[in-house]
């Protein structure tokens, strides 16, 4: 009789242990499922923020490119007429009118001296309104700092790293351009803007490509 009771108790105890183990396994599975869902949501949120950041940067880049390209173009046209320095030039009234209409505000005339029938020596100031793009990487840095990039696909992660590295190069050239403008180093500024245009074209392509591929990151 005692052996039967002992057997029953042992069977009961084993059953309880099995139930506890099953309960623990189920709890772990649920926890893993919840963690997986949480990670997935975090990745989706990060992708959304990065995508928005890229879209804003594209807008900034396009606006800056349009204005700065016009500056380089204007300087190239006026360079043909400058009398050795960017504060004086020699041309006809017709040419001056065309340039002033095409590039308003670039050369502000302060005085003019007639050389012959229709040729004038103009004095003035070259005014450059440089557009400095504000390219951000807050969403990307945040994603990296909290470790969410560990959940990204390798190819996507590599593409993002390359894109933001190029963006930093562009930002560095933008800073150089601002510095050259502040020092009134016009020729240096034009060289920087020319190189910047090449970088901007590549960065624009990288942005567009990333917007297509970013949904496959998670």
Domain ranges of the chain: 1-30, 49-79+131-216
Q: Rg of the chain's alpha carbons, rounded to an integer?
A: 33
Model pTM score: 0.78
Tens-place pLDDT, residues 113-134: 999 888 999 999 989 988 989 9
- Per-residue pLDDT at 7 exceeds 90: no
User: Is residue 138 predicted with pLDDT exceeding 70?
Assistant: yes
71 or 217: which leads in pLDDT: 71
Q: What is the pLDDT of residues 65-95, one digit of tens each?
A: 999 999 999 999 999 988 777 789 999 999 9
For tokens 């103009």, name the residue.
122
Q: What per-residue confidence (pLDDT) applies to 36? A: 47
The alpha carbon of 17 is separated from its chain's Cα centroid by a whole number of angstroms, namely 58
């Amino acid at each position: 009789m005692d052996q039967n009771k002992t057997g029953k108790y042992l069977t009961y105890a084993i059953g309880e242990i099995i139930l506890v183990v099953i309960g623990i396994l189920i709890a772990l599975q649920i926890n893993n499922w919840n963690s997986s869902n949480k990670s997935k949501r975090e990745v989706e949120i990060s992708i959304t923020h990065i995508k928005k950041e890229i879209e804003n940067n594209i807008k900034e880049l396009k606006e800056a490119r349009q204005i700065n390209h016009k500056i380089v173009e204007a300087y190239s046209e006026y360079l043909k007429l400058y009398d050795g320095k960017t504060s004086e030039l020699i041309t006809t009234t017709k040419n001056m009118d065309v340039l002033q209409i095409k590039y308003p505000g670039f050369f502000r005339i302060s005085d003019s001296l007639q050389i012959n029938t229709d040729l004038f020596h103009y004095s003035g100031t070259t005014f450059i309104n440089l557009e400095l793009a504000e390219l951000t990487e807050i969403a990307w840095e945040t994603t990296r700092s909290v470790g969410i990039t560990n959940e990204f696909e390798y190819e996507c992660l590599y593409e993002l790293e390359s894109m933001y590295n190029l963006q930093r190069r562009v930002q560095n050239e933008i800073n150089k351009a601002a510095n050259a403008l502040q020092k009134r180093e016009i020729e240096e500024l034009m060289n920087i803007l020319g190189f910047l245009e090449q970088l901007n074209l590549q960065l624009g392509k990288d942005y567009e490509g990333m917007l297509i591929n970013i949904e496959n990151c998670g």
